[in-house]
Amino acid sequence: MLAIIGAMDEEIELLLADLQAREDLKLPGVTLHRGTLDGVEVLLTRGGIGKVNAAMTTTHLLVQGATRVIFTGVAGGVHPELRVGDIVVSTDLVQHDVDVSALGYDLGTVPGEPPAWAADPELRQVAVQAARTVEGVTVMEGRVASGDQFIASPQGVARLWQSFGAACAEMEGAAVAQVCAKAGVPFVVIRSVSDTADTGAPVDYREFMPRVARHAKQVVRGMLARLSGTPGQPTDAG
Ligand code: ADE
């Protein structure tokens, strides 16, 4: 079963509205919505903001039988070529706020874990194909840096770019990645750029979030069409 997670209501409500044969499953700390989207059986949920919520939600999804996980949402652009509305498909993910350097570990490395978690090649490919159908935006494959911080300064952007080579900053993806990797479950993170993580980020984020959330919906619908073996079908009416 395919799981689709968004951090916030805005990120999943467009998909939830189209979910067929919907059943709600209330679990400790999260509600999962089971049903079919474009003929694919899915578990859809709003996971909440931050790495702890993301890890908890992902664990629930795996226990309920998720065998592939897509995380969709918005991010702050870090790569200098990214503009609001552009889409990042994860190559791999790091936790930029982890610092065990006093014990000799590289910045971002959780002791006992890999320095980064690689996204699934097939899900990446399908995500890129679907993202390319969104008009007027750049689709970039790159590293997603996650941390429990909203990045809103040139220094914050420079740190993520120089220390991690991150394409974008968000607050959940690497936690989803870590849990999925431990369980051997393929995953991909798709992020639409709502701001460029600099001092204007809080204003841009509020202004552009609804528009870029629609991009995320279009990418997920395009992925579902491809994963159900019906590529080329219309996937989004707007
Ligand atoms: N999500 C969207 N914009 C973000 C930012 N600038 N930092 C962290 N998460 C974000």
216 lines ligand 1 (CB under 6 A): no
pLDDT of residue 13: 87
Structure tokens at 117: 């978690």
* 195 included as an active-site residue: yes
> What is the SS3 assignment for 206?
helix
Q: How far is residue 117 CA from its own chain's centroid?
A: 13
**Measured from the CB, is residue 14 less than 6 Å from ligand 1?**
no
Percentage of residues of the chain with pLDDT beyond 70: 96
Residue 237 has pLDDT above 80, yes or no: no
Contact 120 CB / ligand 1 (< 6 Å): no
Of the pLDDT bands very low, low, confident and very high (cuts 50, 70, 90), residue 210 is confident
pLDDT tens, position by position, 173-194: 999 999 999 999 999 999 999 9
Distance separating alpha carbons of residues 168 and 217, to the nearest angstrom:
19
Q: Is 170 a catalytic residue?
A: no
| 116: its two tokens | 């980064």
- How much distance in Å is there from the Cα of 137 to the middle of ligand 1? 18
> Annotated catalytic residue: which of 38, 170, 172, 195?
195
Q: Does residue 74 line the site of ligand 1, with CB under 6 A? A: yes
Q: How confident is the model at residue 229 (pLDDT cuts 50, 70, 90)?
A: confident
Calpha distance 195→227 (Å, rounded): 30
CATH 3.40.50.1580 describes domain 2-228: yes
Per-domain residue ranges of the chain = 2-228
Give the whole-angstrom CA distance, residue 15 versus residue 133: 17
Measured in degrees and rounded to the nearest 5, phi and psi for residue 53 equal -60, -40
Instruction: Give me the pLDDT at residue 162, please.
Output: 97
Element (H, E) at 33: strand 30-37
Using alpha carbons, select from 22, 1, 3, 7 the residue that is nearest to residue 213.
7
User: Which residues have a Cβ under 8 Å from the Cβ of 48 and sit 6 or more positions away?
Assistant: 7, 8, 30, 54, 57
